Copies of this chain bind each other. A is one copy, B any other.
């Protein structure tokens, strides 16, 4: 078991990572005095597989609970689903002291955190991530949000959980594609902050894809530590520090949006975004060719995409321009000068972006 503290004064919390940590859920809730009634937001698969693990621990500590099942797709991150869940929550809450448990992947986490942030002007919530991506990234840091048709996460808040409980045994039901998707964020942490960790991933990626215990615990712990440090310095993305977490995300989001969240899942789109950010970095002379190759090789090794298929350059650029990161006439890119070294560049010429995109486009099928 590993425990990481996210230091944010009154909003501090712990990230507990390991196999079997879920059995302490009820005890943690009591220690933190979060409430007496758990409103658990999850999807039907997770509920079927793992609800018992949660209920056993809650029952032991006499904590009431109810489940709110949402579909496991990006479409669940909508204001109308949110409205529906909040009304159910208010019904459940009559004369109780309720808190929320986000029990699932990124979709469930983002939606649940947002609901917790606005119900009664904020009630406590716990993240219990069940995907690798959520364990290393979305469950930490308090970015919550739902989508509008105009863009992803256009509605949301910064609202920290009271606890993140990463029960790694829950990851065994993930498909290989889902594990790979999580690996994209893992690789991101290595690229933005830790060259040694990148070296570890080059040697051990197979063990992680196979969900080997020691490797998995090590990797989730490394990523969570890096993210916690960044959040502590720039909780609300106001200081230009948290921005580095967007490495690969600017064009990644555009690719995800251009494919209408169908062809590429989040991790795959981020892998492509990281390839692009690295190629742009190389193109403007920031990054050495050998480092670009190491990045491309690792992404290839874990079977994440390095070429864009079935999307036109125009469609991606259109989605990119719509992206909320495009403010006024200015663009801002998170690039690298080395593995582990970030450089923020503003007003990158469109030709650079287009050129790098064109390099990795394959003819449309």
Chain A residues within CB distance 8 Å of chain B: 36, 79-80, 82-83, 86-87, 90-91, 93-97, 114, 117-122, 143, 145, 148-151, 153-158, 236-237, 321-322, 324, 326-328
Contacts and interface: CB of A to CB of B under 8 A. Distances in A.
Nearest to A150: B90
Contact of A86 (B79, B118, B153): B79
Nearest to A114: B118
A151 B90 contact: yes
A150 B143 CA distance: 28
Nearest to A156: B121
A155 B119 contact: yes
Contact of A121 (B91, B143, B148, B151): B143
A156 B114 CA distance: 11
Contact of A122 (B148, B151, B157, B321): B157
Contact of A95 (B36, B119, B326): B326
16 contacts: A36-B328, A79-B86, A87-B149, A90-B148, A90-B150, A95-B328, A96-B328, A114-B118, A118-B155, A121-B153, A121-B156, A121-B158, A121-B237, A122-B158, A122-B236, A157-B157
A150 B91 contact: yes
A237 B122 CA distance: 11
A156 B80 CA distance: 16
A184 B150 CA distance: 43
Contacts of A95: 321, 326, 328
Given A87-B148, A148-B90, A118 B156 contact: yes
Contacts of A79: 79, 82-83, 86
A121 to B, nearest CB: 5
Give the most central of A148, A154, A155: most B CB within 10 Å. A155
A228 to B, nearest CB: 19
Given A90-B151, A91-B150, A118 B157 contact: yes
A154 B119 contact: yes
A243 to B, nearest CB: 14
Nearest to A321: B95
A364 B261 CA distance: 59
A158 B327 CA distance: 26
A121 B145 contact: yes
3 tightest Cβ-Cβ pairs between the two chains A and B: A90-B150, A79-B83, A121-B156
Contacts of A237: 121
A94 B322 contact: yes
B118 A148 contact: no
Given A79-B83, A79-B86, A151-B90, A328 B97 contact: yes
A92 to B, nearest CB: 10
Contact of A157 (B86, B117, B149, B150): B117
A36 B151 CA distance: 21
Contacts of A83: 79-80, 83
A157 to B, nearest CB: 6
A121 B153 CA distance: 8
Given A94-B322, A118-B157, A121-B157, 14 more contacts: A83-B83, A86-B148, A90-B148, A90-B154, A91-B150, A95-B328, A97-B328, A117-B157, A118-B118, A118-B155, A121-B143, A121-B145, A121-B156, A122-B236
Nearest to A326: B95
Nearest to A93: B150
Give the most central of A82, A120, A149: most B CB within 10 Å. A120
